[in-house]
Amino acid sequence: MNERIQRERINPVNGVSRRDFVKFFLAGSALSVYSLNKLNAAVYQSITSLNQKYIQDESPDGIYWDAIEKHFLFQDGVIMMNNGTVGPMPQPVFNTLIKCFKLQCTNPFEVYAFIPRKKEEVRSRLAKFINASPEEIVITRNTTEGLNFVANGLDLEEGDEVLLSSMEHPGGTHPWKLKEKRFGIKIREVPIGLPPKNVDEIVDAFQKAITPRTKVISISHTVYISGLITPLKELSEMAHEKGVLVLADSAHGIGMLNLDMKKLGIDFFATSPYKWLGAPTGVGLLYVKKEVQDKLWPTIVSSGWDTHQDARRYETLGQRADALTIALGEAIDFQNAIGKERIERRIKALAGYLKRELKKIPGVRLHTSENPYLSGGLTAFSIEGIEPAQLVNYVREKYNIVVRTIGRKEDKTYGVRVSTHIYISYKHIDMLIEGIRHLVHHRS
Ligand SMILES: Cc1ncc(COP(=O)(O)O)c(C=O)c1O
């Protein structure tokens, strides 16, 4: 065989031919693997034909979004308005997860011959999805791990400062608290409004807080407590002028927003694709900008940490639950089939409608900005005279709607948080509003 053809047909990682690969994937559990692949192909075919028929149909509801909703798996008709905590998987992701687990269970040796290549494919798809390069992508387990990798891996000295916002998730504060205790760094908290009035209010607050000892701004991109979307682009422009690194906690970002690392300009970005992207729980993503990789040590290591010349050095974790990573690749394909710009528009259209309806109810205080640049699919609010838990329980009992309580009484962030993903309809929001109105009408 001609050498070039041979090179193409043999997997460079493990020397297995493409024909063997296909044979392997169809072997043993042939029927189920084959039928799962066929089911997935049918889903994508249906989305492609819907896309051709319904161009840019963000709102109102209609055939397009009704059809998309049917690709998600919900038990007992539950109306899931809390994917901000953990989201559902679309059918193709579930199918791929099952397929990979099955292959791993039934052919544990041979499956590992293909995993490295499959993982690299997912890395490339992830990179393209967020406009980064594969060399900047670390496949983690979740946001918390990504944030720990950064806090732990930066060389900071006693007295160096890290600025956090007043609205950080524990996953974003504790890695720094540990570093403070071990190494004597200083954490300083910058208050942000509920909601802030505009972009400048946030950027100015951080600018004023920077001192010559400030090394890092560590901030939520998607604030879990208030639904704020932090203006990372403006914040990182300001911070970089002052030589300060920016770490973004974007647990909710991937799958909710049309992300572009180059545009955002941040240095580090951690996210959890199981919330809005439809990936299984247990696989996450950390972006580390190429230009700052020489500043970041790996935290967990095995062979490769000192030889990889890119972000793969942060990922030498030994054997992993690889089926999760492969399913993450499928979650990207599913969102790409719909279009990530379209997804962000739909999510924001739904959240905008929810906010407009909430504002009509006496006693409602929105914790989330109404500016679509400063908000996304998370909407938080409180209502005078109504206990958030009462509302959560009432709408679950009456409509099978899942929302959650969020926040803290002491800083007035305590309230209800609603996630409006693409499978949610205007009709669902109307039901929620009806429930809230009922409670308000009967409040003592
Ligand atoms: C803003 C924010 N950061 C971090 C986390 C932690 O995410 P994970 O448990 O996936 O690490 C969450 C979880 O909800 C969050 O909302």
What's this model's pTM, rounded to 2 decimal places?
0.92
**What residues contact residue 142 under an 8 Å CB cut-off, 6+ apart?**
272, 274, 281, 282, 283, 284
* Per-residue pLDDT, 110: 80
Mean pLDDT of 187-198: 97
Mean pLDDT of 107-129: 91
Cβ(142) to ligand 1 under 6 A? yes
Tens digit of each residue's pLDDT (9 = 90 or more) over 235-269: 999 999 999 999 999 999 999 999 999 999 999 99
Tens digit of each residue's pLDDT (9 = 90 or more) over 264-306: 999 999 999 999 999 999 999 999 999 999 999 999 999 999 9
Confidence band (pLDDT; 50, 70, 90) for 59?
low
Closest ligand 1 atom to 168 CA: 1
Provide DSSP, 392-434: HHHHHHHH-EE-EEES-TTTT--EEEEE--TT--HHHHHHHHH
3-class DSSP assignment, residue 248:
strand
Residue 31 predicted with pLDDT over 60: no
Cβ(87) to ligand 1 under 6 A? no
Closest ligand 1 atom to 171 CA: 4
Residue 257 Cα, ligand 1 centroid: separation in angstroms?
Answer: 16
Please state, in angstroms and as integers, the Cα–Cα distance from residue 286 to each residue in 100, 155, 320, following that order. Answer: 23, 18, 16
Mean pLDDT lowest among 61-65, 204-208, 221-225 = 61-65
Residue 17 predicted with pLDDT over 50: no
* Per-residue pLDDT, 13: 33
Confidence band (pLDDT; 50, 70, 90) for 383?
very high
Q: Percent of the chain at pLDDT above 90?
A: 84
Cβ(144) to ligand 1 under 6 A? yes
Alpha helices for 15-79 (secondary structure H): 18-26, 30-53, 63-69
Mean pLDDT of 161-189: 98
Nearest CA to ligand 1 atom 7: 143
Q: Which of 30, 32, 8 is nearest to 19 (CA)?
A: 8
CA triple 101-104-108, angle to 5 deg: 165
Cβ(249) to ligand 1 under 6 A? yes
Residue 250 Cα, ligand 1 centroid: separation in angstroms?
Answer: 8
Residue 129 Cα, ligand 1 centroid: separation in angstroms?
Answer: 20
* Per-residue pLDDT, 23: 52
Residue 444 predicted with pLDDT over 80: no
Q: What is the CA radius of gyration of the chain?
A: 23
Residue 127 Cα, ligand 1 centroid: separation in angstroms?
Answer: 21
Confidence band (pLDDT; 50, 70, 90) for 34?
confident
Confidence band (pLDDT; 50, 70, 90) for 56?
confident
Whole-angstrom distance, CA of residue 208 vs CA of residue 390: 40
Nearest CA to ligand 1 atom 15: 251
Cβ(272) to ligand 1 under 6 A? yes
Query: Of all helices (H) and strands (E), which one includes residue 270?
Result: strand 268-271
Better-predicted residue by pLDDT, 9 or 122: 122
Residue 199 predicted with pLDDT over 70: yes
Closest ligand 1 atom to 84 CA: 14
* Per-residue pLDDT, 35: 84
Average pLDDT over the chain reads 92
Mean pLDDT of 25-33: 54
Nearest CA to ligand 1 atom 12: 251
Residue 5 predicted with pLDDT over 80: no
Mean pLDDT of 336-349: 96
Residue 230 Cα, ligand 1 centroid: separation in angstroms?
Answer: 15
Residue 11 predicted with pLDDT over 80: no
Tens digit of each residue's pLDDT (9 = 90 or more) over 350-382: 999 999 999 999 999 999 999 999 999 999 999
Cβ(325) to ligand 1 under 6 A? no
Closest ligand 1 atom to 252 CA: 16
Cβ(251) to ligand 1 under 6 A? yes
Cβ burial of 300 (10 Å; 0-12, 13-18, 19+) is middle
Nearest CA to ligand 1 atom 16: 224
Q: Which of 351, 421, 408, 420 is nearest to 382 (CA)?
A: 408
